[in-house]
Structure 1
Amino acid sequence: MFNENSIVVKVWADAVLKGDKELNDVPNLSNLIAVVTAIVEGGEINV
């Protein structure tokens, strides 16, 4: 459902990368956690 271009993914990944939120805070919706984790670990985000 979610991919790296989804606005929800971008918002969560940006918040985690900035330190405002942690990966544990990402809601368990479909594949949201997996996609955000992949972006955070890869360090890639285009907001």
Structure 2
Amino acid sequence: MNEHGLVANALCLSETDYGESDPSHRPMSISLWARYALDNFAAVAGTV
């Protein structure tokens, strides 16, 4: 949760196979996607 109240959740299935990784790109942890959203956005458009 960021200071504006935006929350991010990530689910993971350890048995998932994403295939071979591209050696020209560094792998990224799924937690970094949530961190990016929390750092860069205060809210999302939508209805509650």
TM-score under structure 2 length normalisation: 0.29
Q: Which of structures 1 and 2 has the larger relative contact order (alpha carbons within 8 angstroms, sep 6+)?
A: 2
More helix by share: 1
Select the structure of larger CA radius of gyration: 2
TM-score under structure 1 length normalisation: 0.30
